[in-house]
Amino acid sequence: MGGRSGFFSGGLHGKDDQRGGSPELGAPPLSHQDRPLGGRRITKKGKTMIEAIVERRSIRSFTPDPVEDPAVDRILTLGTWAPSGLNNQPWKFMVVRDPALKGRLAEQTRYSRVILGAPVCIAVFLDNAQSYDRVKDIQAVGACIQNMLLAIHEMGLGAVWLGEILKNRAAVEAVLEVPETCELMAVIALGHPAEKKRPGSRKPLADCLLGRK
Ligand X SMILES: Cc1cc2nc3c(=O)[nH]c(=O)nc-3n(C[C@H](O)[C@H](O)[C@H](O)COP(=O)(O)O)c2cc1C
Closer CB to ligand X, 30 or 56, in the complex: 56
Closer CB to ligand X, 30 or 109, in the complex: 109
Among 177, 81, 82, smallest CA distance to 138 is for 82
* Smallest separation (angstroms) from ligand X to the CB of 56: 7
Q: Binding of ligand X at residue 200 (CB under 6 A)? A: yes
- Report d(CA 33, CA 53) in Å as an integer: 25
Residues of span 61-90 touching ligand X by CB under 6 A? none
Contact by Cβ (8 Å): 145, 155: no
- Report d(CA 4, CA 106) in Å as an integer: 32
Among 61, 170, 64, 186, smallest CA distance to 119 is for 64
* Smallest separation (angstroms) from ligand X to the CB of 79: 15
Position among 78, 162, 172, 182 found at the interface with ligand X (CB under 6 A)? 162
Q: Binding of ligand X at residue 57 (CB under 6 A)? A: yes
Position among 102, 111, 147, 178 found at the interface with ligand X (CB under 6 A)? 111
Q: Binding of ligand X at residue 164 (CB under 6 A)? A: yes
* Smallest separation (angstroms) from ligand X to the CB of 113: 10
Give the list of residues 6+ apart from residue 143 with CB closer than 8 angstroms, or none: 82, 83, 84
CA–CA distances in Å: residue 211 to residues 4, 7, 192, 202, 204? 22, 22, 41, 19, 14
Position among 161, 169, 181, 194 found at the interface with ligand X (CB under 6 A)? 161
Position among 72, 105, 160, 172 found at the interface with ligand X (CB under 6 A)? 160
Closer CB to ligand X, 157 or 162, in the complex: 162
Position among 38, 163, 168, 169 found at the interface with ligand X (CB under 6 A)? 163
- Report d(CA 118, CA 66) in Å as an integer: 9
181 CB burial (10 A radius; 0-12, 13-18, 19+): middle
* Smallest separation (angstroms) from ligand X to the CB of 148: 12
CA–CA distances in Å: residue 11 to residues 15, 18, 47, 80, 143? 10, 14, 13, 31, 28
- Stretch of 47-55, 56-64, 123-131, 150-158 lying at the interface with ligand X (CB under 6 A): 56-64
Residues at the site binding ligand X, with contacts judged by CB under 6 A: 57-58, 60, 111, 160-164, 200
